[in-house]
Structure 1
Amino acid sequence: MSRTTSGVQRVETTVLAAVRRGLGGTPAVPVARGLSAFGEHALGWLALGAVGWATGRRRREWATGAVGVALAHASAVGLKRVVRRTRPDLTDVPPLGPVHSLLSFPSAHTTSTAAAVIGYGPVVGGPVMLGALSAMAVSRMLLGVHWPTDVVGGALLGAGVAAGVRRAVDHGGTP
């Protein structure tokens, strides 16, 4: 293992342990579990898009956001299969929640949430959505199921995919 890799792993392990020490045993744990359930397979975000669309107001924006969330989630799942990084397996930070795969990079929960920030932010409110992204990212580490770089990579992937969808729709595409 190279020095850079081991240095990054040390930092990531330190961050995971610090998040667990700071938030483990607090009400943040059940909140993190709830966020995990909401974000599973991006279903909570897709449901939000469907409800928003069903209101009949700003349907194009809701649909665009939902397409961005779906494509971002699919991108994360595909990238996990290419990268094949395993989830954290640390004695001092055991997982606090179930996972459906042993693959870790990128965090699909964070990816779909970042896509929701870009997609739904204009109709829900950017600060609210950024708060949701921050909570989701921290929750994945608190639960011990993702490395910090998994959540950062997921946020970048989700934002990029959703921005691409928004750009395509703004230039004549249809969701």
Structure 2
Amino acid sequence: MKITVSIVLSLLLVGCSGIPYDQNKSHAQIASDLKIKEQEIKVISKCNFYPFEYGKKAYAKMRSCVFVENSDSVFIVNYDKDENRYYAEFSIKPEEIHCTAIAKKEPGKGIIYLYAEKNAFTVALLHQNNDLNHEAVLKLEKELISKSIPVLDLSISISNPLYKYKTGVSSVCPLTMR
């Protein structure tokens, strides 16, 4: 089991080389391309993520992107090199998020699981050097709690009774059972 966890973490921490993102320079362009106000961005970070559609066979394929959260939505943002613009690959409104789970212990500390109406997402927020961005995770956690979205401590552990909810193909939010 430890080998599987190590492989998953290694894949999550792979570089985000395909998307031009500079913490200071890209905010304005991302905000403009998403048609949101730059000052309304609450959390922004490079990230790697896996989307899972409920009821479908789960073949996890890591995607590199930029994670953006403002007062209205969570965006999983990709970049079109040909058009030189950012676009929302996924956009989730807070009311669509049933709950979240954040691994609070090693291994996997800081990995986020978002459980929405149709999809679940595994998200690793990253610094420029591809280390996990724990500051952004804490900021996101505070934002989610302020919106009354349940946040569970879901440390990666076989002994954790919620472990099955993040690993199964038909993952559900343990609080809403959806």
TM value normalised by structure 1: 0.28
Structure number with the higher strand fraction is 2
Higher gyration radius (CA): 1
Greater fraction of residues in helix: 1
Relative contact order (C-alpha < 8 Å, sep 6+): which is higher? 1
